[in-house]
Amino acid sequence: MSEIKDIDIMEVGDIENGERSSPWSSTIVVLRMTTSDGIVGYGEAPTTLMTKPVIDEAKEIARILKGKDPTEIERNSFEVYKHSFYMPESMETTSAFSAFEIASWDIIGKIYGMPVYKMLGGKFRDEIKAYANGWYSDCVSADSFAKKAKEVSKAGFKAMKFDPFGDAYDEISKEQIEHAVEVITAVKDTVKDSDILIECHGRFNANSAIRVAKAIRDLEPSFIEEPVHSDNIVGLKRLRATTDIPIALGERVMNKNLFLPYFIDDLVDIVQPDITNSRGIFEGKKIASMAESFGIEVAFHNAFGPIQTAATLNVDTTIPNFFLQESFEHFWPEWKKKLVKSGYNLEDGKYRISGKPGLGIEVNERILEEYKVDGMEPFNPDEPSWAVKGTWKSSK
């Protein structure tokens, strides 16, 4: 039996220079897991102002899983669930565990000489349509959004997501809504053949979200994402009763059981689980299957690094209810672009995966060493870490 022998937990990033657009992923947590017979698998965990807690949780999970058979995904998941009392509600724990789970699939694929997607049922599609995110750093005016949207379209993307709400939080004024409408209109007029996706970052109370939805309805966004605070389920129900704009959410929902109430109560049209914080690849596949039963489409959240992207694409290619795949890749810093040498490619706004065993990737060990860091990602008291850099400003 192959056993989990060595576990290396590495923080990788560029804390000094950060990211051009996504400060929440200035660092990523990379897990390198090696078996007793020398097979290496890689996983990734997100950070978002919880880097150190995620690393500490990964160390605790290592104590549970060291010596276990990496091919026993379900048993190992249940073992961590048993020992980690707060796992059902702790994003730090589910994020850390997801890295182990992803690395396990990478190892299993290498043991049997199969890509992960083959083990999940095989390809349902050859190409995976992506939407661009992270492209609008430093955009405030409608003209600045439109100018950058044109560049995104020229890069081949036929769908793009953006947050037009500046520094509005919880409440939003009439003037801020009018400005958001101006921004969305400018983008739509510039890239007429593109799908427009509106990001709210879970920032509004229900009354504000209802006013926003009414104001942008005629602009026909393909979805509005996290329109209310993520814990405001009753407020989401109130919004749902007043709008027919498709609602997307899920990056902060940590397992299939926690997704179920959204499905049963018909609160979501497009679900956005994150492979790196909702227990990994297998749970992601299960969530997608549950969503399919309710006629809900899937657009996995994917805002961190290339190992996450490879894991997510291996699920995307297998599911019939796929909607779109989030992509920051075109706007990454160089260190992140070079972290993975091969495994997938993004061209004309579409992903294709290599079909090599496991995740299909080759990790650049030189980048792992050169960009190894120790600390929390940057903190800016004047702009939340979840905002795209340079956008937390008033239009006035």
Q: Just list the catalytic residues.
A: 201, 301
What is the number of residues in the chain? 396
* Rounded Cα gap, residues 107 and 65, in angstroms: 14
Residue 326: count of CB within 10 angstroms of its CB: 24
The DSSP call for residue 377 is P
Per-residue DSSP letter, 303: -
Q: How many CB atoms lie within 10 A of CB 137?
A: 17
Give the span between the Cα atoms of 216 and 185, in whole angstroms: 9
Contact call for residues 396 and 178 (beta carbons, < 8 A): no
What is the DSSP track for 315-367? HHTT-TTB--EEE-GGG--HHHHTSEEESEEEETTEEEE---SBT--EE-HHH
- For 185-215, give the DSSP string: HHHHHH-TTSEEEEE-TT-B-HHHHHHHHHH
Distance CA 41, CA 282 (A): 16
